[in-house]
Chains A and B, each alone.
Chain A
Amino acid sequence: MNDARERGSVALELVAYLALLGLIVLGALQAAAVGQAAVAARTAARAASAAAASDLSAAEIEAAARAATAPSLRAVTSVVARSGTRVTVSVGIPPALPGIPADILSIHRTAELPRR
Chain B
Amino acid sequence: MRFVPGYTEEEGQATLALLFVAVATLAVAALLYRVAAVADQAAGAQNAADAAALAAAAAAVTDLESGFLTTGETATGVETPSARAAAADYAERNGARLVGFETSGMRVFVTVEMSPDGGASALGAPLPQARAAAEVEPEFTAALPDTASRSLTPADLADLERRAGVRVVEGSALLTYGDDCHTGVDVGHLAGAMKVAVIRLEHALGRPVKLTSAYRDLSCQARLFASVQGPVAPPGRSMHNYGLAVDVAEPGAVAAHARAAGLCQPLPATDAVHFALAASRECAGAAGTLVDEPYGGDPGSFVTYDVRLVDEGPA
A, B from the same assembly: yes
Instruction: Name A's B-contacting residues (CB within 8 A).
Output: 2-3, 6-7, 10, 13-14, 17-18, 20-21, 24-25, 27-28, 31-32, 34-36, 38-39, 42-43, 45-46, 49, 86, 109-116
Known: A45-B47, A112-B51, A115-B58. A35 touches B15 (CB 8 A): no
The B8-53 residues at the A interface (CB cut-off 8 A) are 11-12, 14-15, 18-19, 21-22, 25-26, 28-29, 32-33, 35-37, 39-40, 43-44, 47, 50-51
Chain B 191-204, CB-CB to A under 8 Å as 1, else 0, gives 00000000000000
Select from chain B the residue with minimum beta-carbon distance to A3. Answer: B4
* Contact A28 B32, CB 8 Å, known A14-B14, A20-B22: yes
Stretch at the interface among B63-71, B86-94, B140-148, B155-163: B86-94
Known: A35-B35, A45-B47, A112-B93. 13 other contacts (CB 8 A): A7-B4, A21-B22, A24-B26, A28-B28, A34-B33, A38-B40, A39-B36, A39-B40, A42-B40, A42-B43, A114-B55, A114-B86, A116-B307
Report the minimum CB–CB distance from A115 to chain B (whole Å): 7
> Do the beta carbons of B47 and A31 come within 8 Å of each other?
no
Looking at chain B's contact residues, the main secondary structure is helix
Q: B269: CB under 8 A from chain A?
A: no
Given A17-B15, A38-B40, A25:B25 Cβ within 8 A: yes
A21, closest chain B residue (CB): B22
Q: Is B228 an interface residue (CB 8 A)?
A: no
B161 to chain A, nearest CB (A): 48
What are 14 sample pairs from A and B whose C-beta atoms fall under 8 A apart?
Answer: A14-B15, A17-B18, A21-B21, A24-B26, A35-B35, A35-B37, A38-B39, A46-B47, A46-B50, A111-B47, A111-B94, A112-B93, A116-B54, A116-B58
- How distant is the Cα of A98 from the Cα of B54 in the complex, in angstroms? 42
* A28 CB to nearest B CB, Å: 4
Contact B47 A42 (CB under 8 A): yes
Q: How distant is B273 from chain A, measured CB to nearest CB, in Å?
A: 36
Of listed A14, A109, A116, residue having the most chain B CB within 10 A: A116
Name which residue of chain B comes closest to A86, CB basis. B93
Among A13, A31, A111, the residue within 8 A (CB) of B36 is A31
Complex contacts, A20 vs chain B, CB 8 Å: 22
Minimum CB–CB distance for B257 against chain A, Å: 45
Given the contacts A3-B2, A114-B90, A21 and B25 also touching, CB distance less than 8 Å: yes
Report B-chain residues with C-beta under 8 Å of the C-beta of A31. 29, 32-33, 36
Q: Is the CB of A6 within 8 A of B1?
A: yes
Cβ-defined contact, B2 with A6, below 8 A: yes
Closest to A26 in B: B29
Contact A35 to B44, CB < 8 A, known contacts A6-B1, A20-B22, A28-B25: no
Closest to A28 in B: B29
Contacts of A13 in B (CB 8 A): 15
User: Which residues of B are found within 8 Å of A7, using beta-carbon distances?
Assistant: 4, 7
The 8 A-B residue pairs with the shortest CB-CB distance in the complex, in nearest-first order: A35-B36, A28-B29, A38-B40, A42-B43, A114-B55, A31-B33, A31-B32, A17-B18
A7-B4, A32-B32, A111-B51 known; A21 vs B43 contact (CB < 8 Å): no
Q: How far is the CA of A35 from the CA of B55 in the complex (A)?
A: 28
Query: Residue on A with the closest CB to B2?
Result: A3
- Cα–Cα, bound, A13→B29 (Å): 22
Instruction: Give bound CA distance, A45 to B2, whole Å.
Output: 64
Determine the distance from Cα of A116 to Cα of B18 in the docked complex, in whole angstroms: 58
| Chain A residues within an 8 Å CB radius of B33 | 31, 34-35
